[in-house]
Amino acid sequence: MKLLLLGNIGGTEILLIVLLVLLLFGGSKIPELMRGLGKGVKYFRDSMDGKADPEEDDKKKQ
């Protein structure tokens, strides 16, 4: 199933975008950016599921 957001982006374009991100942020910042993105997606999903306060659950796990 093709993602509608990507449109007609091929492999070459994706490779160029990845290289551009590496040049802008450097290899050491990429994991930190992805971790933040993952937390944002988790927060969004928890909110959609009706959890009262997803941040409170994160504090309990620590």
Distance between CA atoms of residues 23 and 17, nearest Å: 10
Q: What is the DSSP letter of 7?
A: T
Q: Six-digit token pair at 22?
A: 């590496």
- Say if pTM beats, i.e. exceeds, 0.75: no
Q: Which residue has the tokens 């492999």?
A: 11
Distance between CA atoms of residues 55 and 6, nearest Å: 31
pLDDT of residue 35: 92
Distance between CA atoms of residues 13 and 19, nearest Å: 10
pLDDT, one tens digit per residue, over 3-61 is 556 677 788 888 898 899 888 888 888 888 889 989 999 998 888 888 766 556 556 66
